[in-house]
A and B are shown apart, each in its own frame.
Chain A
Amino acid sequence: AQKITQTQPGMFVQEKEAVTLDCTYDTSDQSYGLFWYKQPSSGEMIFLIYQGSYDEQNATEGRYSLNFQKARKSANLVISASQLGDSAMYFCAMTIRTNAGKSTFGDGTTLTVKP
């Protein structure tokens, strides 16, 4: 079975600073994908970034980057130059290649950006 752990229920960051949201995962599969999603207070779920287990380079998408440490089974999201609009709930999620319909989510981290 797969498991995602997000140990930070809530985080605060000052506007324009960088912040790291932690995610650790557990799976016995060698081939899997890791995703981060953002959920603003309006409720919709927005895809941010993806990392494949065989990708050698850390994924980046604009101000978002994924610090992927395979041996430690961690996939932390780094947001650079935080903006007030980054205040939201963030979810880490995983799918495994052998059962790609099955997705496992963490409990989420609520990020608050302070002006």
Chain B
Amino acid sequence: EAQVTQNPRYLITVTGKKLTVTCSQNMNHEYMSWYRQDPGLGLRQIYYSMNVEVTDKGDVPEGYKVSRKEKRNFPLILESPSPNQTSLYFCASSNYNSPLHFGNGTRLTVT
């Protein structure tokens, strides 16, 4: 089954404790991206990747890191999470000029 898999679905952590949210796709898509969704603000792009080892900042990259060492994986890293990073996070993948395929989301709470 074609899918984007994000883990974990729910995560509660404390300020400053490094965490990684994993994302993997099995559709051989070129593009992968991360978004955060906050009430009233829609989806805002954090980072995106056009191919292996090629990444670029989205609209809200501060406080996040990404890497694309393999085509299928695109983890999101929060080196020192803060409460303002409490949000719903989505990973997505696509090919050129095609719709985004989203993961099921990760609900992160930072206390």
Contacts and interface: CB of A to CB of B under 8 A. Distances in A.
Contacts of A6: 42
A106 B43 CA distance: 7
Contact of A108 (B42, B56, B58, B101): B42
Nearest to A32: B97
Contact of A50 (B58, B99, B101): B99
23 contacts: A4-B42, A35-B100, A37-B99, A37-B100, A43-B88, A44-B104, A44-B105, A45-B90, A47-B99, A91-B42, A95-B97, A100-B31, A100-B97, A101-B48, A102-B45, A103-B35, A103-B45, A103-B92, A105-B42, A105-B45, A106-B42, A107-B41, A108-B42
Contacts of A52: 97
A16 B92 CA distance: 33
B43 A91 contact: yes
B108 interface: no
B97 A97 contact: yes
A101 B100 contact: no
B100 A33 contact: no
Interface of A: 4, 6, 9, 33, 35, 37, 43-45, 47, 50, 52, 91, 93, 95, 97, 100-108
Interface in B25-57: 31, 33, 35, 40-45, 48-50, 56
B98 to A, nearest CB: 8
Describe A's contact surface by its main secondary structure: strand
A93 B94 CA distance: 14
B17 to A, nearest CB: 25
B79 to A, nearest CB: 23
Given A43-B88, A44-B104, 16 more contacts: A4-B42, A35-B99, A35-B100, A43-B105, A44-B102, A45-B100, A47-B100, A93-B43, A93-B100, A97-B97, A101-B33, A102-B48, A103-B45, A104-B59, A105-B43, A108-B42
